[in-house]
Each structure stands twice: as structure tokens, then as C-alpha cells.
């Protein structure tokens, strides 16, 4: 479960760029629910995702994750909460290139200080349809396959909040609907809140809860 | 999954850069380690064989040559001296022992040395089987000679003139093996010892039968024109017994100061001090060794730069990876250690391959040394200096990895992840 109130973030002024203040609408996304945040480029979509993903700290406002207010936490505690409770899918799939697909999944276990769960990784790979690629390097996979691997990686620690930043923008229509279906299905399975941030109009009809920036 | 596994995968992923770093490092480390090994071997071989010999007397010439030929048996002798002159030293109050040596013949490349029982006694060489030589033409052979030339008790052989095994053989007189020495790790291992009378007996035939090689100064009769002091007994000259050189030990260190000068100025002989000559030899070698060491150090520094560049470049490429791992819960300290361990792994592998390389180099050097000089240098154990070398390699790995690793602390996760 995630809920935010009065979130404000300001980019500090730089030599040629004046300070820019972003205010975000309040929203709540309960467990087992989905939320689509639509907005065109430059509206602070990624900034919002980084705020609720605890990567950035807001100037003001409150964020509640699983009934826990997080603005008072230290950076170490924030990292721990993020690793344990939040799964993030980035716009372009990125991996540790030296490791193979399976190792990239297990890396998420390791970095979150959880026990490596090979069966779970293999189970997710099967669910998401890349079980034949586990021993390949990520860059040997197609973009659609890579995105499915990053979905598996975001799921592997069974988070209570799934965040997706433009998960479909680089995919064709077929892969787009497949990825979204998988996201909804998988987050439903573990009872997580799914928040998707995008400008991709193809997703408009896929989500009942929507806000626009 | 652990840090080492990730760093190992990263190193494997950029094989060419890692290989180059390891290659350079192992070359530098290997060169230094080889020099250390050689130094130890030469040092111990040279020190072991000096072993209490304070002075060597022999025919005038190069003092270093006299030392090398008489103590180490690796150079040609300087010539012959009269036995009487050598024996007159025995009455000198500073002198404790005089061990005469007579050389010039060999068997299958192993030198035959005519001497007294004092010589093996001085080197504490024990007879393993059989007896020490006592009669004329009886020999006791060193352990390596017995092994390589296949000599055992009762065997007879003809010596050949000269020290390289290429001279004429003395067909009419055959040596007989009376015993074999135990391996002592000294020069005795590679010698065939006999009584000094045997050498005289072998060469005691008309002069015209000899076809001397140039390098056989040892058996040319001494410079007679200077033979005019002490005994004016000229008819004795034809039959005067000669030896090649003699090893002297002193009763007290005062001998070192007084005797060499006295001998060099007042007799036909020259006196050489092994410690001084060997120091001179080592200081000559030292210039070459220092140059090689400097080259090795430069290679090691280049190896460090190579590690640095490789990590620095890969970090630029891997910035997103690092931000990703930070967002997945990695602490900056962990990633710092990850990068540092990549430098350390390269250093350790470079060190180990370097040590192996130096042993391979030493093996081939040893083959050559055994073949040419019969000296064995086969001691491949790890030197204490090599632990210092390991510490140096690790330090290099850390230093080279430090600056790239520290940049982990400057990564802005949000900005890095947002940029594409």
C-alpha cells in the first residue's frame, strides 16, 4: 500500500536554469490495486516515481508505505525499506552485464540481504516466459524479453509496492499488452500495489484508477 | 552470490583488459622474483664454498680468476707454482692450514683435482661408500659425478687433458674409483678428487708427447726466469714439483693484513682474498641486477596504471549498473569494496603467475648452469622477500583501484537512473 500527500520537490537552481518546483497530486493505491499516472514529458513523472521509490527525498509532504511514514527515516533505513518492500521496473531494462539472467535475479535477493531463492527465480522465469534464457547474458535477449526479466527481478523479493517507469514505451503493441498483462497478473498474485507512470496512451484503457500530472 | 563472485564475473567480462593488467604485473613480479632467486642461489653457492678459506695463493694473474678456478672450479687456472714455495707458507705463524690443489685434467667435463685429505675434510665431505683416495691413481668422486658419469667403486677411467672434456686422453694411466662422497652441497659434489701425486704421475712422461691446448696454462711449467730467490739450486728446477694453487686458512685475522702483501711482493705467487674478490664480482653483477630491477619496477608501475585505466573506464560504462545496485539495496561501502576487490584480484593473480613464471625461468637457468658449470640452483621455495613483494602487489592493486572505487560515493542514483 502506498499513499502520498502534498508532495513537493524542487530542483535546485543552477547557473542557467532557475529553481523548479514540482507539486504532485495526492493519491493512494491500496494493496491489490493498480494506479496509472499519466503525464507528458517534463511533467515530473520520473521524479514522482523516484520520490515514492525512496530514491529522492521530497522537500515536503508525506509518503506512507505499508502504514509506515518514511520521511523521518535515515538514508540507510530508506535503502532497507526500498530493498525489502519496493520493486522498481525502469524505462529501459538495465542489468549487471557481467552476470547472466539468473544471477541478475539472485543479485536482487543478495542486495536486499535475503536468502537466495533459486526455485522462486526459476518459477518467475517460467511465469514470464524466459525460462530458456536463464544462463544467457542479458544483452543477448530481445528488448521485450529483457523487460520481462526486469519484471521478474522486481518481483523476486515479493514487494508490497511495484513501481513501473514507462515500462512499455520502447515495446511494440504486442509486447506492450503482454508486459502490462504480466505486470497486473503478477502484482495481483502477491497482493502488491502496482503504480505505473507513463505517457503511453495505449495503457489508458488498461487501468481503472488513473491520475494525470 | 557474493562480492567476490560479482567482481570475478566483471573481470571475466572484460577479458582483454584484465589479461593485459595481469600480464604486465606478472612480468614485473616475475622478473623481480627471478632476480631474488638468482641472488639467493648465487649468494649461497658462493658463500658456502668460501667456507673459512681466507686466502688463495697461485700463479700471478687475475686474482678473480684465481678465486673462481681454485674455489669454485669454474674458470681456467692462472698457471702453476712450485710446491716448495707453497709448503714454505706452512711455517708462517699466521697460517693454520695449507691445502694444495693441482688441476688441469677432467673426465666427462668433471674436473679432476689433485689434493690432500685436508681438502674434503675442510668441506666436511663424508665418504658415503668406499674409501678416500690413498694410493697413486686412486680417486674419490663427488655425488654428482658418480650420478652423471655413472662411476662406482672399482670402475676405471682415463682422464682427458684440459677442463672441457675435449682434450686428449691419457691412455696409459687409468684412474680407479675408490669411493663416493656423500652429497654435501659444496663444490666437492662435482669434483673427482685424487692424491696430488696422481697428477704428477699422469704427466710424468716426456714433454713431446703433449699436445697442449691453449687454455691449459695449468700444466705449462712456471715462469722459470723469475725463479731465482731463496734456493739457488738450479739443477733442482727440472724435477721441481708444481701445484696449481693452494687454499689457506689463518690462525688469526691479522694474517689478512700481513700475508697477502708479503706474498705478492716477495714471491712468484699471488695471494687473493676470496671475500674481497667475490664482493668485487657481486658489485659488478650488481649494476646489471639494479638495471633489471629498475625495469621490473617500471613494468609494475605500468601494470598499476593499466589496472587503474581498466577500472576507471569500466566504471564509466558501469555507472548505471552501480546506481541500479544502489537502488536495489546495495550500500556504497559494499560497492566500494566490490571495485576494490577487482583491483585486488588482479594483483593476486598477477603475483601468483609472476611467481610461477620466475620458477619456470629459474628452471631453465638451472638447466643451463648445471650443463655448463655443474652447479645446481634448484631451490624453488618461496623467499621471505617475496612476501614483501606480495604486500607490494596488493598495495598496488588497492592504490590503482582506490580512485575509481571512491567515485562510487559521488554517484547520484536518481539522476543516473533517469538519464538514458
pLDDT digits (tens, 9 = 90+) for A158-186: 999 999 998 888 788 888 888 888 899 98
Q: Is the pLDDT higher at B3 or at B205?
A: B3
Nearest to B362 by CA among B331, B386, B334: B386
Q: Is the dihedral of CA B56, B60, B62, B65 positive or negative?
A: negative
Q: B321 to chain A: nearest residue by CA? A: A96
Q: Give residue B378's pLDDT.
A: 65
Q: Does B314 contact A at CB distance below 8 Å?
A: no
Partners of A99 on chain B (C-beta within 8 Å) are 6, 9
**B234-256: average pLDDT:** 75
Nearest to A85 by CA among A104, A101, A64, A116: A64
Among A35-44, B149-158, B229-238, B267-276, name the one with the lowest average pLDDT: B229-238
> Which of B13, B325, B413 shows the shortest C-beta gap to A111?
B325
- Percent of chain A as helix, strand, coil, to the nearest 5: 40, 25, 40
Cα–Cα distance between A95 and A145 in angstroms, integer?
13
Question: What is the average pLDDT score of chain A?
Answer: 89
Q: Does A110 contact B at CB distance below 8 Å?
A: yes
When pLDDT is cut at 50, 70 and 90, the band that residue B394 belongs to is very high
CB spacing of A111 vs B321 below 8 angstroms: no
Q: Give residue B218's pLDDT.
A: 45
For A53-77, the pLDDT digits (tens) are: 999 889 889 999 988 898 889 988 9
When pLDDT is cut at 50, 70 and 90, the band that residue B232 belongs to is very low
- Percent of chain B as helix, strand, coil, to the nearest 5: 60, 15, 25
Q: A100 to chain B: nearest residue by CA? A: B9
Q: Does B417 contact A at CB distance below 8 Å?
A: yes
CB spacing of A83 vs B10 below 8 angstroms: no
Q: Does A83 contact B at CB distance below 8 Å?
A: yes
Cα–Cα distance between B259 and B297 in angstroms, integer?
45
Tell me the percentage of chain A whose pLDDT exceeds 70.
100
Task: Give yes or no for a contact between B399 and B303, defined as CB atoms under 8 angstroms apart.
Answer: no
CA-based R_g, chain A, Å: 17
Cα–Cα distance between B338 and B283 in angstroms, integer?
46
Q: B2 to chain A: nearest residue by CA? A: A110
**B20-24: average pLDDT:** 91
Cα–Cα distance between B205 and B171 in angstroms, integer?
12
Among A167-171, B342-346, B386-390, name the one with the lowest average pLDDT: A167-171
CB spacing of A90 vs B417 below 8 angstroms: yes
Q: Which residues pair with B105 in a beta bridge?
A: B112, B161
* CB neighbour class for B282 (10 Å; exposed up to 12, middle 13-18, buried from 19): middle
For B40-81, the pLDDT digits (tens) are: 888 777 777 787 888 999 999 899 999 888 888 888 888 888
Q: B317 to chain A: nearest residue by CA? A: A97
Task: Give yes or no for a contact between B264 and B257, defined as CB atoms under 8 angstroms apart.
Answer: no
Partners of A92 on chain B (C-beta within 8 Å) are 420
Q: Is the pLDDT higher at B173 or at B196?
A: B196
CA-based R_g, chain B, Å: 31
Task: Give yes or no for a contact between B149 and B102, defined as CB atoms under 8 angstroms apart.
Answer: no
Which set of grid coordinates corresponds to residue A74?
Answer: 535515515
Q: Is the pLDDT higher at B83 or at B231?
A: B83
Q: Residue B234 pLDDT > 80, yes or no?
A: no
Q: Which of A47, A96, A113, A138 is the best substitution to test chain B (most B C-beta atoms within 10 A)? A: A96
pTM assigned to the model: 0.75
> Which of B1, B6, B420 shows the shortest C-beta gap to A116?
B1
Nearest to B6 by CA among B334, B320, B412: B334
Partners of B3 on chain A (C-beta within 8 Å) are none
Q: Residue B34 pLDDT > 80, yes or no?
A: yes
Q: Which of B417, B419, B420 is the best substitution to test chain A (most A C-beta atoms within 10 A)? A: B417
Question: What is the average pLDDT score of chain B?
Answer: 83
Q: Residue B32 pLDDT > 80, yes or no?
A: yes
Residue found under cell 663444490: B187
Cα–Cα distance between B123 and B184 in angstroms, integer?
8
Q: Does B328 contact A at CB distance below 8 Å?
A: yes
> Which of A82, A90, A107 shows the shortest C-beta gap to B1?
A107
Q: Residue B337 pLDDT > 50, yes or no?
A: yes
Q: Please state, in angstroms and as integers, the Cα–Cα distance from residue B63 to each residue in A74, B48, B76, B287, following that order.
A: 80, 19, 12, 21
Q: Residue B215 pLDDT > 60, yes or no?
A: no
Instruction: Residue B67: count other Cβ atoms within 10 Å of its Cβ.
Output: 28
Q: Give residue B377's pLDDT.
A: 67
* CB neighbour class for B188 (10 Å; exposed up to 12, middle 13-18, buried from 19): buried
Partners of A94 on chain B (C-beta within 8 Å) are 320-321, 324
Which set of grid coordinates corresponds to residue B125?
Answer: 665431505
Strands A210-212 and A193-198: unpaired
Q: Is the dihedral of CA B277, B278, B281, B287 positive or negative?
A: negative
Task: Give yes or no for a contact between A86 and B335, defined as CB atoms under 8 angstroms apart.
Answer: no
Q: Does A111 contact B at CB distance below 8 Å?
A: yes
Task: Give yes or no for a contact between B365 and B39, defined as CB atoms under 8 angstroms apart.
Answer: no
Task: Give yes or no for a contact between B223 and B70, defined as CB atoms under 8 angstroms apart.
Answer: no
For B268-313, the pLDDT digits (tens) are: 889 999 888 888 888 888 888 888 889 988 998 998 898 898 888 8
Q: Residue B372 pLDDT > 80, yes or no?
A: no
Which set of grid coordinates corresponds to residue B100?
Answer: 694444495
When pLDDT is cut at 50, 70 and 90, the band that residue B209 belongs to is very low
Q: What is the largest CA-CA distance in chain B?
A: 109
Cα–Cα distance between B62 and B353 in angstroms, integer?
43
Residue found under cell 704421475: B201
Residue found under cell 604486500: B391
Q: A86 to chain B: nearest residue by CA? A: B328
Task: Give yes or no for a contact between B56 and B220, defined as CB atoms under 8 angstroms apart.
Answer: no
Instruction: Residue B39: count other Cβ atoms within 10 Å of its Cβ.
Output: 16
- Strand ranges (E), B142-202: 156-157, 160-161, 175-181, 191-195
Instruction: Residue A97: count other Cβ atoms within 10 Å of its Cβ.
Output: 18
> Which of A80, A90, A103 shows the shortest C-beta gap to B1?
A103
Cα–Cα distance between A149 and A138 in angstroms, integer?
8
Cα–Cα distance between B356 and B358 in angstroms, integer?
5
Task: Give yes or no for a contact between B208 and B63, defined as CB atoms under 8 angstroms apart.
Answer: no
Task: Give yes or no for a contact between B95 and B301, defined as CB atoms under 8 angstroms apart.
Answer: no
Amino acid at each position: 500500500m502506498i499513499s502520498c500527500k502534498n508532495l513537493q520537490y524542487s530542483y535546485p537552481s543552477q547557473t542557467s536554469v532557475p529553481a523548479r518546483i514540482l507539486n504532485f497530486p495526492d493519491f493512494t493505491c491500496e494493496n491489490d490495486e493498480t494506479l496509472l499516472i499519466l503525464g507528458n514529458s517534463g511533467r515530473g513523472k520520473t521524479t514522482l516515481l523516484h520520490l515514492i521509490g525512496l530514491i529522492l527525498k521530497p522537500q515536503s509532504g508525506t509518503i506512507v508505505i505499508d502504514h509506515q511514514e518514511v520521511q523521518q527515516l535515515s538514508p540507510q533505513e530508506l535503502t532497507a525499506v526500498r530493498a525489502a518492500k519496493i520493486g522498481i521496473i525502469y524505462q529501459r531494462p538495465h542489468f549487471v552485464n557481467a552476470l547472466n539472467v539468473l544471477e541478475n535475479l539472485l543479485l536482487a535477493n543478495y542486495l536486499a540481504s535475503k536468502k537466495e531463492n533459486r526455485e522462486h527465480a526459476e518459477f518467475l522465469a517460467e511465469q514470464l516466459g524466459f525460462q530458456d534464457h536463464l544462463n544467457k547474458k542479458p544483452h543477448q535477449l530481445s528488448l521485450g524479453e529483457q523487460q520481462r526479466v526486469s519484471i521478474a527481478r522486481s518481483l523476486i523479493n515479493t514487494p508490497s509496492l511495484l513501481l513501473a517507469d514507462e515500462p512499455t514505451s520502447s515495446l511494440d503493441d504486442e509486447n506492450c499488452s503482454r508486459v502490462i498483462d504480466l505486470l497486473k497478473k503478477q502484482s495481483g498474485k502477491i497482493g502488491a500495489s502496482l503504480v505505473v507512470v507513463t505517457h503511453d496512451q495505449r495503457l489508458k484503457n488498461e487501468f481503472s484508477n488513473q491520475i494525470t500530472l | 552470490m557474493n562480492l567476490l563472485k560479482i567482481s570475478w564475473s566483471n573481470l571475466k567480462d572484460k577479458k582483454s583488459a584484465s589479461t593485459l593488467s595481469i600480464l604486465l604485473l606478472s612480468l614485473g613480479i616475475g622478473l623481480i622474483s627471478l632476480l631474488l632467486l638468482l641472488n639467493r642461489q648465487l649468494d649461497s653457492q658462493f658463500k658456502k664454498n668460501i667456507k673459512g678459506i681466507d686466502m688463495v695463493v697461485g700463479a700471478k694473474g687475475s686474482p678473480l680468476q684465481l678465486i673462481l678456478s681454485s674455489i669454485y672450479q669454474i674458470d681456467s687456472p692462472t698457471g702453476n707454482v712450485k710446491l716448495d714455495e707453497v709448503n714454505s707458507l706452512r711455517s708462517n705463524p699466521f697460517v693454520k692450514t695449507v691445502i694444495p690443489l693441482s688441476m688441469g685434467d677432467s673426465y666427462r667435463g668433471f674436473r679432476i683435482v689433485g689434493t690432500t685429505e685436508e681438502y674434503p675434510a675442510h668441506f666436511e665431505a663424508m665418504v658415503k661408500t668406499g674409501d678416500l683416495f690413498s694410493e697413486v691413481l686412486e680417486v674419490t668422486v663427488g655425488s654428482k659425478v658418480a650420478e652423471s658419469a655413472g662411476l662406482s667403486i672399482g670402475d676405471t677411467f682415463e682422464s682427458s687433458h684440459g677442463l672441457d672434456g675435449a682434450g686428449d686422453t691419457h691412455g696409459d694411466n687409468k684412474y680407479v674409483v675408490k669411493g663416493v662422497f656423500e652429497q654435501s652441497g659444496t663444490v666437492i659434489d662435482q669434483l673427482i678428487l685424487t692424491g696430488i701425486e696422481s697428477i704428477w704421475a699422469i704427466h710424468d712422461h716426456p714433454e713431446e708427447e703433449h699436445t697442449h691446448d691453449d687454455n691449459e696454462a695449468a700444466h705449462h711449467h712456471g715462469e722459470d726466469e723469475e725463479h731465482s730467490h731463496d734456493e739457488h739450486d738450479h739443477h733442482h728446477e727440472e724435477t721441481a714439483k708444481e701445484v696449481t694453487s693452494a687454499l689457506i686458512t689463518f690462525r688469526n685475522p691479522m694474517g689478512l693484513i700481513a700475508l697477502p702483501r708479503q706474498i705478492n711482493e716477495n714471491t712468484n705467487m699471488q695471494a687473493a682474498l676470496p671475500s674481497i674478490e667475490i664482493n668485487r664480482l657481486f658489485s659488478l653483477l650488481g649494476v646489471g641486477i639494479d638495471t633489471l630491477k629498475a625495469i621490473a619496477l617500471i613494468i609494475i608501475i605500468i601494470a598499476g596504471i593499466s589496472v587503474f585505466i581498466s577500472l576507471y573506464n569500466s566504471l564509466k560504462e558501469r555507472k548505471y549498473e552501480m546506481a541500479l545496485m544502489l537502488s536495489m539495496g546495495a550500500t556504497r561501502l559494499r560497492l566500494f569494496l566490490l571495485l576494490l576487490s577487482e583491483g585486488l584480484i588482479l594483483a593476486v593473480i598477477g603475483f601468483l603467475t609472476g611467481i610461477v613464471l620466475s620458477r619456470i625461468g629459474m628452471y631453465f637457468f638451472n638447466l643451463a648452469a648445471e650443463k655448463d658449470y655443474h652447479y645446481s640452483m634448484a631451490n624453488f621455495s618461496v623467499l621471505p622477500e617475496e612476501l614483501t613483494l606480495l604486500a607490494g602487489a596488493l598495495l598496488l592493486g588497492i592504490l590503482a583501484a582506490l580512485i575509481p572505487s571512491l567515485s562510487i560515493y559521488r554517484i547520484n542514483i536518481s539522476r543516473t537512473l533517469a538519464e538514458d
